Amino acid sequence: MSRNVFDNPSFFSKYMELRKDYNHNDLLEHPEMEKLCPDVRGKRVLDLGCGYGSYARSFIERGASYYLGIDSSESMIRKANAENAGDNIEYKLMNLEDLDSFECRFDLAYSSLVFHYIDDFDKLLRAIHSILNNDGILLFSQMHPIISASNGYSGYFEGEYFAFSSYQEEGRREGHWFKQKVISYHRKMSTIMNALASNGFLIEKVLEPLPSLEAVRELPALEKDLVRPTFLIVRARRI
């Protein structure tokens, strides 16, 4: 298994400090994911790139019969087992690229801000399709293509205008976070949508979240999301 950047102790520590404060995930991405989440009562949930299992208990509290979180970071899985364990909750250390080795089935595949780190998107979708039950739901968020397009991830602002480059040039991107090199993969919006359709999914909803004024007051940096979206959220059904 390739080494995960979160297994760098310094990087992991700085990330966990970041999550203690108001952030884009809590104020913009997660509330919109919650709105699109299906009824999970009696359902089996697979969390792809679960991190430290921050959503595990909420799925069980909402009636899920079983939750499995998978992640490629040993540090994340260790923290998940220490802080977010419980009845009908399990965690597994594995790469998402190896998901096609799974034999068990699920009703919901959930993923928060992970898919833009996956090189072979078609392979991932085929694997997810194979382990979802009929009419199972795939709900995921990722970095918006308008953000992932520019090398360095974020594009830039010129005064009040947002500028970005290389949208049509798909593929590997290198950025830096907490002074660590982080690799992601840019795909156009059309590529993402067509890949879902080609791999047996019916797209039910697509969101490009807009922050509320209350969220902007809590985190002024969210004002930029009134100009351009940071996240793309998709709900699709296995057909």
Can you give the pLDDT at residue 2? Answer: 46
Of 7-16, 34-43, 57-66, the poorest mean pLDDT is in 7-16
3-state helix, strand, coil in the chain (%, to 5): 40, 30, 35
pLDDT per residue over 116-173, tens digit each?
A: 999 999 999 999 999 999 999 999 999 999 999 987 555 556 666 677 889 999 999 9
Q: What mean pLDDT do residues 74-94 have?
A: 97
CA angle 1, 104, 194 (to 5 degrees): 75
Assign domain 5-238 one CATH number from 3.40.50.150, 1.10.10.920, 3.20.20.140, 3.40.50.720.
Answer: 3.40.50.150
CA angle 57, 60, 61 (to 5 degrees): 85
Domain ranges of the chain: 5-238
